[in-house]
Every structure is written in structure tokens, then in C-alpha cells.
A and B are shown apart, each in its own frame.
Chain A
Amino acid sequence: MSLSESGGQPVANAPLAPSSGDAGVLVRARGVTKRFGGLVAVNSVDFDIPRGSIVSLIGPNGAGKTTFFNMITGFYTPTSGSIEFDGHPIVMKRRNGMKSLRPHEVAALGIGRTFQNIRLFGTMTALDNVRLGANVHLKSHWWDAALRTPGMLREEAENREASMDLLRLVNLEDRAHAWARSLPYGDQRRLEIARALATRPKLLLLDEPTAGMNASETRDMTSFIRKLRAELGLTVLLIEHDMRVVMGISDRVTVLDYGEVIAEGTPVDVRRNPKVIEAYLGRGAADT
């Protein structure tokens, strides 16, 4: 497995260790390709996410953003390439092809995510949604649960407390016992983030967190994401269509088009990049 250095990396000076992660980079993807039959959805993408940064992945519809997301979370197995998270390989080469960790294993490693169209557990309470997120860190077995052993009761109480803290963080503590699906749209978006935070992630993947929000809700969400990074030390990867959000909070922006990285850099650089303008607006617009 050879890792090739690609241009425009945020931590260009850091040495590239082949297996264990270096201090600066949380996610390292190299040559990631995903084919669906004849269609190449993601084509040989190199991608780094520096620790503690907010990185955005943008691109026209069908550019392969969500496919890339799904490969990081273990939902899709790349056709080729390598993805490492925090020094752990997410994708492994096996004799009979590529093998990816299962999504719950990736979640246990420390990647939490939200979904483009909200996927809460609708008839579970807000509190139970968050408590489910912590499932991966609970150790009691079924026999503990059946007998309600002291260890299990203690763990449940601690989990409940921690989950209430998370609900407080997203301002939903007074709706803790309401069904998730009865919450207003903006609350559901924040509840989904609380649920993702309950998995105690190092990396938070947000798939269009401001989709369908009005201007003031979008502003709240943007400052909330900043607050998450500041207070919890999280690294955030965003997929977002709203350019004000992307340009406002990203440290770095990566642009995908037809499954390939066409630009990578700071928001200002990307905005000026003629390839990006062409991808979004067509050749004519780039020429003028």
C-alpha cells in the first residue's frame, strides 16, 4: 500500500507514516475509487482531514459527495484505495477484494454522523434517541439487562445523565420525553447531532445540516457547529449546498465533480478557482 503525496495538503510538512496516523491528520484517504457497475461515482480521491478543523465537501449534485461520506462510515466498500481514521484502517485489502469495517465498527472508532434527510427513531423519545447513540459504549450484557444487575443499573443511570447533558447542549432538555417525530424540524436536526455526539465521536460528519432551514436557523446552526469544535475539540466534515455556510465556517473546502477532486484549499481560493466556477456554472461562465 503506497501512499502518494497529493498537492495542496494542509499539513504538507508532516511526515507520511504508512499505517499509524500522525498527529495532524485524522482522516487520510488515498486513491479512493467507487464504481457502481460502469459508473465511477468517486474516482481516485485523495483527501485529508486535519485534526480539529472544519472541512467542507462541496460539488454539484451527483458529484460523489455522499458516496464518499458513505465510504468513510463503512456503508460502502471502496472499489480501490485506502481510508485511515486516526491511524486505524477503515478499508482493508483482502485476497478476494476490498473489505470495509462495518458501520457500527466505524462508529465505535469515533465517527458520528447525521443524515441528509433526518433519520431519527421517530417513535422513540428524544432522550432514548440520544441514549441509543451511546449504545456502543455500554458494556452490560443481556443477562445483566434481564436481571437488572447493579452494574447495569449504574451504567443506565450514568448514560441517562450523560444523555440529558447532551440534550441540554442542544437546548432540548425540556423535550426529552417527547417522541422524536413530534419535534419541529430544527429541533430534529439538533437532536440528530446530539445523537451523533452520544457516540463520543472524534469526527462528526454532517450531511447538509442546514438543508431546509431559514436564514436565522442557519445562522444558529453555523454558530452551533463552531461551538462544538471549540468546546468539544471535534473535527467536522460537512457536506453543504449553502455557500454562505460553507464559506463562513470552513477551514478548508474540497470540491468534487464527476467523482474527482477539482479543487482543494481555503474557501477564498476555492471560490476563485476557475475549475469550480466551470463545474457549477458551465464553461461559458468560466471563460467570461
Chain B
Amino acid sequence: MTTLVVKDQDPYGHGIGGWLSHVGAVIGALPGTYRRELTIHRRRTVLLTVLVILLVTYPILNKLFLAEFSRTTFPLPLPDDTVVTFMMIFGIMAIGLNIVAGFAGLLDLGYVAFYALGAYTAAFLASPHWDSVSIVFLANVAPGFPGIHLPFWIIVPIAILVAGTFGALLGAPTLRLRGDYLAIVTLGFGEIVPVVFRNLADVTFNFSLGPISINAQHLNLTGGSLGINPIDAPYLPFTNLVFNASSGYAPVYLGMFLLVIAILFARNLERSRIGRAWMAIREDELAAEMMGVNTIRTKLLAFALGASFAGVAGSLQASYLGATTSDFFTFSTSILVLIMVILGGIGNIWGVLLGAIALTYVDKTFLPYIGQQVQQIAPSFPNPAQFNFLLFGLILVAMMRFRPEGFLPNRQRAAELAAHTQADVEAKVDEIVAVDAEAEVEASIAEDPGIGLDNLGPPPGQAEASGDARAPETTDEEREL
């Protein structure tokens, strides 16, 4: 009887059943939620609705008449299936980087390393690369085929694990660093990982320790600069559905599926105690630590979780393209994803998604299209598609000047950005004023020893002592408190 009563009072239930009923309730409440969003954030909701409908129906529209129209009547800069798939891949990456840079406020300039780790995880586990063994499990190849062939659906969790682990490994020693130093270490990591993959193609070593002896002669671990190919395409077991570069728009929907999961995860994390802890660390790391937030662990979590999103994106990219080489993973990719996050609106999931879609479009469809048009009119004119980073740089400068918070800003981040420039100035002024005021108080007390105990100030003797002995020893942290 009592247990029944308790269950009645508890709206959340327990275990899987409780979770499923919660999911059901959320889905059931979607129409209401949408109506509410429409009234509160009208512009944002309408924009997103149009974008989502466009994305979902684009493949069909394209098949029906857009492609035909573009070919026969007027050439339009329409993204093809590869570009739309890459919109999804970069969308997942941008959402992951947004966790690190947007939520927790840690600048990561080597995000591409985790993308590479995801891609090479897929390459190692679903290709004929290890041709001395033959492990085929639920894959789209004949049994006994050389190499390890695991299905995409197993590779994705493994890629998450690998990227997340490396995120934690990189974070553990570096997250005690602040700001610029962290950015430089991550930058280095982003350079090292692709170089390692490029150079581990011919490994020869002898290792012996007592009875253990390992020898390797010309071991090809990573395929070197040629990379690894072919990589098995993702496929739905027990069906003929394959998601590779030659299967049209099917991979778009696979990417969309993973992207939706990524969005849900990121959103849920943001609205939890972990999301609040990230925000607090971003605002005032010291105060957060004093209020009981384990700042190092929480930052490490942001790093590892953000990295795991790139792991998903990487494994999808490699499986989709059917090949991977270290050339895909250059510093410019890290920067491209960072620009997506900043342009879209750092801290806002929908914003960074918009940034990813817009920049992928500009990079892979719009600029080549313009280039083509220019080449037709004036063949000697330099191709604008080769100057994509110049253009991104200009866009970024313009954004920083006119809308530093991005297209769809996060309210908090926008306020912080506005405050920072102003607060820097104010803090300087405050400091100067405070020093002056202190000196004045000290001077007045020194002159007037008749001041009662009721309004105590610093003693006259201490004024000089604090002036010459303390000043040089006072650390920044001490002054902060």
C-alpha cells in the first residue's frame, strides 16, 4: 500500500520504464513546446523550422526538379549530396566543439585531432588494412575476407570511446593551464596526431625486456601518406541499404540521425548540473571551485565529451568517403570548425549548427560555383574558390566588428562579450581609483590620531609597511579575492 502511494507521488518512476515514459511524455508534449517556443522566440523558431524543413526535404526537392532546373534552365549553386552530408558531419563537430569552447569556455585549437582519431578508428576496424587477420562481424563483406570488418554501428561507440579517452589524456595534464597556454597545447596536439598517422607507415623496432621480446620489421600501421582505403561503408544490417558516397542522399539521413542525437545530448548536458558547472567555470573559475565544483574534473569532462562528438563525425566521414588520409586533418579544419562555432553564435547549439551548415555551403558549393562563373567570364582571373580562407578571415573580422556574439547568439555569452570590453576599462579605472582612495584614507588617519574605534582604518605605521613590503609579494590570485 505504502509503495503504491510513494509511486503516485513520484512522477519520474524508476529504471528503463521510467525513462521510456519520460521520453514518451516529452514527445507527447512536443506540439505544445513548439507552440510555446513560437511565441517566446518567434524569429529563431521560424528560422529553424524553415531550415529543418529545407534540410529534410532538400534531397527530395532536388531529385524532383531542382537539379533538373539547375542543369537545363539556369545554373544555381545547389549543394549536392556530398555537401549536405558534410553539413551533417561538420554540424556534429561544431556541436562538440561548442561544448568545449562554448559551454566550458576552453579554447581548443586542435579539435581536428579527435576528428582524425574517429576516422582512423573506422579505418582500422572496417577495412582490409590488417590483412593478416580476418574478422568479419555483421559487415557488408563476405566471411573470410582479409582484415577487420566491424559494422558502423559498433565502430561509432568505439570511436566515441577512443576520442573521449584521448580527450581526457590530453586534458589531464593541460587543463591546469589557462587561456592562451591551453590553446597552444591543443594546437600542438592537433598537429601531432595527423603527423603520427602519416609517419607510422614503416615501423621497425626491437624491444626486449627479460624474456619478453617484440620485433617488428617494416610494419605498416597507418598506411602513411596514402592513408587507408577502402573502408567499409555504413550499412543497415539485414537490408541492402548502404550509406557511401555513391548512394545519393541516403547518407544525409544517416548523418541527420547522428546529428539529432548529438543535439539532444548536448542540450541535455547543458541543462543539467554539469552544464551549470561549465557555465560557472566559464564565468568565475575560482568562485566555482570554492562553491564545491571540482573544476579540473568538470573541465576534463567537457574536453572528453566534446572530443567524442568529433570521434563520431570522424568515423562517419571515413566510412562515408570510404578512405582516409592524414591530409584531411589539417590545422585549417580545426580553424574552420572554430569559425563555424563563432559565426553561428558560441554557446548556442542552434547557432553553431547554423554556422556549420552555412560555412560548409559557402566552402564547398558557393565559392566553387562563383569560381566557375568567374572562370567562364574571365579565364585569366584568379579563382575565388582558392581564396576561401581569405574570405572566411574577412567574414570573421566583419563579424567581430558588427556582431561579435554570432548569428544566433547565446544570451549569456553575448552579455559576457559586451561586458568584457567594457569591464576591462572599468576594472582599470576602479583599480586606479581604489589605490588613490586607500592612500587618501591612510593619509587622513595619519594626520588625525583622534579617530575612535568605531571607524577603524589602517594604522599609520602600517601604511609604509604595506606600501613597500607587501606590494611586490602580492600575487594576482590574492588580489582577486
Contact residues of A with B, CB < 8 Å?
36-39, 58, 60-62, 66-67, 70, 73, 75, 102-104, 107-108, 112-113, 115-116, 119-124, 128, 131-133, 135-136, 138, 140, 142, 144-154, 156-157, 159, 179, 195-196, 199, 207, 241, 243-244, 258, 271, 277, 279-282, 284-285
* Number of chain B residues whose Cβ lies closer than 8 Å to a Cβ of chain A: 61
Report chain B residues within 8 Å CB of A195.
Answer: 291
A264 to B180, CA, bound (A): 46
A123-B416, A159-B273, A258-B462 given; 11 more Cβ-contact pairs under 8 Å: A113-B290, A119-B286, A120-B287, A121-B279, A132-B277, A135-B273, A135-B276, A142-B269, A148-B268, A153-B12, A196-B291
Question: Are the CB atoms of B462 and A146 closer together than 8 Å?
Answer: no
| Interface pairs (18), CB distance under 8 Å | A37-B473, A38-B473, A60-B458, A104-B294, A107-B292, A112-B291, A115-B481, A123-B411, A124-B283, A128-B276, A132-B291, A133-B291, A135-B273, A135-B277, A142-B301, A147-B268, A157-B12, A258-B465
CB distance from B389 to the nearest CB of A (A): 33
Tell me whether A132 and B280 are in contact (CB under 8 A).
Answer: yes
- Among the stretches B55-63, B364-372, B378-386, B448-456, the one at the interface with A is B448-456
Chain B, 1-51, CB within 8 A of any chain A CB = 10, 12-15, 18-19, 22
Minimum CB distance partner of B287 in chain A = A119
Interface residue? B374 (CB, 8 A): no
Question: A142, B10: Cβ atoms under 8 Å?
Answer: no
Chain B positions within 8 Å of A62 at CB level: 458, 462, 465-466, 470
Shortest distance between the CB of A38 and any CB in chain B (Å): 7
Given contacts A66-B481, A277-B453, contact A132 B276 (CB under 8 A): yes
The 0/1 profile, CB within 8 Å of A marked 1, for residues 357-400 of chain B is 00000000000000000000000000000000000000000000
Partner of A104, one of B269, B276, B289: B289
A136 partner, pick from B269, B292, B416, beta carbons under 8 A: B292
Contact across chains for A104 and B273 when beta carbons are under 8 A apart: no
Judge whether A150 and B279 touch: CB under 8 Å.
no
Residues of chain B with a CB closer than 8 A to A121's CB: 279-280, 283-284, 287-288
Whether the pair A243, B456 counts as a contact (CB closer than 8 A) is yes
With A and B bound together, what is the CA distance between A247 and B283 in angstroms?
36
Query: Is A281 a contact partner of B451 (Cβ separation < 8 A)?
Result: yes
- Nearest CB on A from B238, distance (A): 27
Contact B449 A145 (CB under 8 A): no
1/0 contact trace for B445-481 toward A, CB 8 Å? 0000101011111111110011001100111011001
Complex Cα spacing A135 to B265, Å:
20
**A128 contacts across to B, CB distance below 8 A:** 276, 279
Contacts of B12 in A (CB 8 A): 150-151, 153-154, 157
Q: Note all chain B residues with C-beta closer than 8 A to A39.
A: 469-470, 473
Most chain A Cβ neighbours within 10 Å, of B272, B411, B465: B272
A-B contact count (CB 8 A): 174
Bound Cα distance from A195 to B451, whole angstroms: 37
In the complex, A285→B458 CA distance in Å?
14
Cα distance A39–B277 in the bound complex, in angstroms: 36
B268, B295, B411: the one contacting A146 at CB < 8 Å is: B268
Contact across chains for A243 and B291 when beta carbons are under 8 A apart: no
**When the two chains form their complex, are residues A140 and B481 in contact, meaning their CB atoms are under 8 A apart?**
no
Closest residue of chain A to B275, judged by CB? A145
**Alpha-carbon distance between A112 and B287 when the two chains are bound, in angstroms:** 11
The distance from the CB of A25 to the nearest CB of chain B, in whole angstroms, is 23
Q: Which residues of B contact A (CB under 8 A)?
A: 10, 12-15, 18-19, 22, 265, 268-269, 272-277, 279-280, 283-284, 286-295, 301, 305, 411-412, 415-416, 419, 438, 449, 451, 453-462, 465-466, 469-470, 473-475, 477-478, 481
B416, B453, B460: which contacts A271 (Cβ < 8 A)? Answer: B453
- A136 CA to B294 CA, complexed, in Å: 8
Q: A122's closest neighbor in chain B, by CB?
A: B283
Interfacial chain A residues near B283, Cβ < 8 Å: 121-124
**CA gap between A142 and B270 in the complex, in Å:** 10
In the complex, chain B residues whose CB is within 8 Å of the CB of A61: 438, 457-458, 462, 466
Contacts of A107 in B (CB 8 A): 290-292
When distances are taken between beta carbons in the complex, the residues of chain B under 8 Å from A122 are 283, 415, 419
Q: Give which listed residue, B275, B277, B449, B474, contacts A284 with CB less than 8 A.
A: B449
Least CB distance, B287 to chain A, in whole angstroms = 4
Give 6 nearest A-B pairs by CB, closest first. A136-B292, A145-B272, A150-B18, A107-B292, A123-B412, A150-B12
Chain A minimum-CB-distance residue to B17: A150
Known A146-B265, A150-B14; judge A124-B462 contact (CB<8 A): no
Interfacial chain A residues near B273, Cβ < 8 Å: 131, 135, 138, 140, 145, 156, 159
**CB-CB < 8 A to B461: which residues of A?**
282
Report Cα–Cα, A272/B163, bound state, in Å.
67
Tell me whether A150 and B19 are in contact (CB under 8 A): yes
Nearest CB of B to A219, in Å: 15
Residue of A120, A124, A157, A244 near B279 (CB, 8 A) is: A124
Nearest-CB distance from A128 to chain B (Å)?
6
In the assembly, what is the distance between CA of A191 and CA of B291, in Å? Answer: 13
Q: Which residues of A contact B473 (CB under 8 A)?
A: 36-39
A44 CA to B473 CA, complexed, in Å: 19
| Distance in angstroms between the alpha carbons of A277 and B475 in the assembled complex | 30
* A70 and B474 alpha carbons, distance in the complex (Å): 14
Residue of B nearest to A155 (CB): B273
Return chain B residues, CB-CB under 8 Å to A60.
Answer: 456-459, 462
Chain B nearest CB, measured from A157 CB (Å): 8
Residues in A neighbouring B291, C-beta threshold 8 A: 104, 107, 112, 132-133, 135-136, 195-196, 199
B475 / chain A contacts, CB cutoff of 8 Å: 36
CB–CB A103/B290 < 8 A? yes
Partner of A243, one of B14, B419, B455: B455
- Minimal Cβ-Cβ distance residue in B for A63: B462
Minimum CB–CB distance from A130 to chain B (whole Å) comes to 10
B22 touches A124 (CB 8 A): no
Contacts of B269 in A (CB 8 A): 142, 145-146
Q: Is the CB of B268 within 8 A of A102?
A: no
Q: Please judge, given known A-B contacts A277-B453, A279-B459, A282-B460, whether A145 and B280 are in contact too, CB under 8 Å.
A: no
B472 closest partner in A (C-beta): A37
Cross-chain contact A280 with B19 (CB below 8 angstroms): no
Write the nearest CB–CB distance from A230 to chain B, whole angstroms.
24
B448 to chain A, nearest CB (A): 10
Nearest residue (CB) in A for B461 is A282
Q: A146-B268, A147-B268, A153-B12 are in contact. Are A119 and B284 (CB under 8 A)?
A: yes
Q: Please indicate the chain A residues that have their CB under 8 angstroms from the CB of B438 in the complex.
A: 61
Q: Given A104-B292, A104-B295, are A149 and B19 neighbors across the interface (CB < 8 Å)?
A: yes
Docked complex Cα distance between A39 and B478 (Å): 14
The residue of chain B having its C-beta at the shortest distance from the C-beta of A148 within the complex is B268
Query: Using Cβ atoms and an 8 Å threshold, which residues of chain B touch A151?
Result: 12, 14
With A and B bound together, what is the CA distance between A113 and B453 in angstroms? 27
